[in-house]
């Protein structure tokens, strides 16, 4: 039976099976994958972070993600996703829902990944009741295409990890002041992408700023708990005992009835972070204009991984006075990586003048006579190379600065 002679019902079944099989194989690389016997909330698959330390019977059970698989015969195909799968009653995206879209077959097969937020912000809604998101050409935009499976899985894992953390915190909140454990991973995935930034390392800066601000909560915690106990108790003696705990926070004589929770000023000058976010958003916008977001992120991620491996391998032989020199070759149209070369230049040896190259002095990576981690050297080299590639792909970025 030829493809053209197949009945419509058979094609639909084959396409659905193909989409689900490809999606399951993709997800199994990183997650535990569960399947439902019925399709509720658009869940072709339920995915769980791999962990032996959490159980579904725990007070804060592990969170699961919902993945819906769609198959497209070609780019002209249109699929639909019910809005209730994607957003809540207030129109807010439901964290943990993803759509994995497969297009074509064999050598022409392609995959696209959209989060609930990307679906809600990008796709149009149908006018029928109940409404559905129209997953057509807009859903198959280049920026959603999966060229690097590791980055795509990172995107899903990042959102599930955030969701698990925030849900668990509900059980730790105190009456007056919540417990807030700040971790470096607690940032939207878009700002973890391998996009160079001349202003700030956004994930690190965001963590540092919030961690310093969090110290105010520690200063306030004991006083606020005492105040809460005073408000809750019906025994005046207990209230007076709690009141004594507030004495250490009493302000100066100029304002004797006030409380002071910190003896130092907390830095609220986050200008570098603001500038870094602007630069990041400009880069994303410029890449989208030339339909190169996915291709650049794939190339940039591969550059970083290869440099980490190469620098780590050469780290023991690197000595003061030498310099790391990295050169990059890639396809200027598809941005596919060809090769990265890394070598050590001796002191006084001229640095080759080549396009898409970077160098770092070994001396700059010694602190107190000890070498800094090889990953930091690799990160500096990556930043130079990725910045040059970004400006090559998006030459208008220089004009915007």
Domain residue ranges in the chain: 8-166, 187-282, 290-400
Question: Which fold would CATH assign to domain 8-166?
Answer: Trna Endonuclease; Chain: A, domain 1 (3.40.1350)
Average pLDDT over residues 258-273: 67
pLDDT category at 59 given cuts 50, 70, 90 is low
The CA angle 361-367-370, to the nearest 5 degrees, is 95
CA–CA gap between residue 118 and residue 159 (Å, rounded): 13
Give yes or no for a contact between 82 and 42, defined as CB atoms under 8 angstroms apart. yes
What pLDDT shows up at residue 215?
Answer: 66
Q: CA-to-CA distance for 75 and 110, rounded, in angstroms?
A: 10
Q: 350 pLDDT exceeds 90?
A: no
Q: How far apart are CA 152 and CA 24, in angstroms?
A: 14
Q: What was the pLDDT predicted at 356? A: 95
Mean pLDDT, all residues of the chain: 81
Residue of higher predicted confidence among 48 and 179: 48
How much of the chain exceeds pLDDT 70, in percent?
Answer: 79
Per-residue model confidence as pLDDT tens digits over 378-389:
999 999 999 999
Q: What pLDDT, on the 0 to 100 scale, is given for residue 358?
A: 94
Band of residue 159 on the pLDDT scale cut at 50, 70, 90: confident
Rounded to a whole number, what is the distance in angstroms from the first to the last CA of the chain? 60
Q: What is the pLDDT of residue 181?
A: 67
Tokens (6 digits) for 353: 């003048």
Could you tell me the pLDDT band of residue 219, with boundaries at 50, 70 and 90? low
Q: What is the pLDDT of residue 225?
A: 79
97-103 and 110-115 strand pairing? antiparallel
DSSP character at residue 1: -
Categorize the per-residue pLDDT at 197 as very low, low, confident or very high, splitting at 50, 70 and 90: very high
The rounded Cα 290 to chain-centroid distance in angstroms is 22
Residue 289 clears pLDDT 50, i.e. is over it:
yes
Specify the pLDDT at position 2: 47
313-to-120, 342, 385 alpha-carbon distances in Å: 45, 10, 19
Using alpha carbons, select from 123, 89, 145, 109 the residue that is nearest to residue 288: 145
Give 312's pLDDT tier (boundaries 50, 70, 90).
Answer: very high
Least confident of 76-90, 222-236, 251-265, 325-339: 251-265
Residue 31 backbone phi and psi in degrees, to 5: -120, 165
Rounded average pLDDT over 205-212: 83
User: What percentage of the chain has pLDDT greater than the value 90?
Assistant: 38
Q: What is the pLDDT of residue 257?
A: 60
Instruction: Output b/e per residue, 249-288; b: 16+ Cβ within 10 A.
Output: beeeeeeeeeeeeeeeeeeeebeebeebbebbeebbebbe
Looking at the DSSP assignment, which residues form a beta bridge with residue 80? 134
64-72 sheet: strands from edge to edge: 31-34, 45-49, 64-72, 97-103, 110-115
pLDDT tens digits along 89-99:
888 888 889 99
Using one digit for the tens of pLDDT, what is the confidence trace for 170-191?
433 433 345 566 777 888 888 9
* 215-224, 242-251, 316-325, 372-381: least confidently modelled range: 215-224
Q: What is the mean pLDDT of residues 111-140?
A: 93
pLDDT band at 226 (very low <50, low <70, confident <90, very high): confident
What confidence tier does 266 reach under pLDDT thresholds 50, 70, 90? Answer: low
Nearest 5°: the CA angle 29, 33, 37 is 150
Chain position carrying tokens 């898409």: 356
Summarised one tens digit per residue, pLDDT across range 119-131 is 999 999 998 888 9
């Amino acid at each position: 039976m030829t493809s053209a002679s197949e009945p419509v019902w058979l094609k639909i079944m084959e396409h659905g099976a193909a989409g689900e099989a490809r999606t399951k194989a993709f997800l199994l690389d990183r997650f535990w994958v569960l399947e439902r016997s019925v399709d509720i909330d658009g869940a072709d698959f339920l995915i769980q972070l791999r962990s032996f330390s959490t159980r579904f019977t725990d007070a804060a059970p592990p969170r699961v993600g919902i993945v819906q698989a769609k198959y497209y015969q070609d780019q002209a195909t249109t699929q639909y996703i019910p809005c209730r799968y994607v957003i809540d009653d207030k129109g807010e995206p439901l964290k943990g829902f993803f759509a994995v879209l497969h297009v074509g077959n064999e050598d022409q097969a392609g995959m696209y990944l959209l989060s609930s937020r990307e679906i809600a912000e990008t796709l149009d809604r149908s006018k029928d009741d109940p409404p559905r998101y129209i997953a057509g050409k807009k859903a198959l935009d280049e920026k959603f295409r999966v060229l690097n499976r590791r980055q795509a899985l990172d995107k899903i894992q990042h959102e599930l990890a955030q969701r698990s953390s925030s849900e668990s915190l509900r059980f730790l909140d105190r009456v007056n002041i919540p417990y807030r454990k700040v971790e470096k991973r607690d940032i939207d995935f878009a700002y973890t992408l391998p996009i160079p930034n001349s202003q700030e390392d956004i994930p690190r800066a965001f963590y540092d700023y919030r961690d310093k601000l969090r110290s105010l909560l520690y200063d306030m915690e004991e006083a606020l708990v005492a105040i809460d106990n005073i408000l809750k108790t019906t025994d005046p003696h207990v209230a007076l005992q709690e009141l004594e705990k507030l004495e250490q926070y009493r302000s100066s004589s100029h304002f004797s009835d006030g409380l002071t929770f910190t003896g130092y000023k907390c830095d609220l000058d986050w200008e570098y972070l603001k500038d870094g976010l602007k630069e990041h958003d400009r880069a994303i916008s410029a890449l989208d204009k030339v339909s190169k977001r996915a291709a650049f992120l794939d190339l940039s991620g591969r550059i970083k991984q290869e440099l980490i491996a190469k620098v780590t391998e050469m780290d023991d032989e690197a000595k003061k006075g030498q310099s790391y020199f990295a050169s990059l070759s890639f396809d200027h149209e598809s941005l596919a990586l060809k090769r990265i070369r890394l070598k050590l230049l001796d002191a006084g040896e001229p640095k080759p003048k080549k396009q898409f190259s970077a160098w770092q002095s070994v001396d700059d990576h010694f602190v107190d006579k000890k070498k800094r981690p090889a990953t930091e050297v690799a990160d500096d080299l990556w930043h130079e190379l990725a910045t040059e590639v970004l400006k090559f792909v998006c030459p208008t970025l220089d004009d915007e600065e």
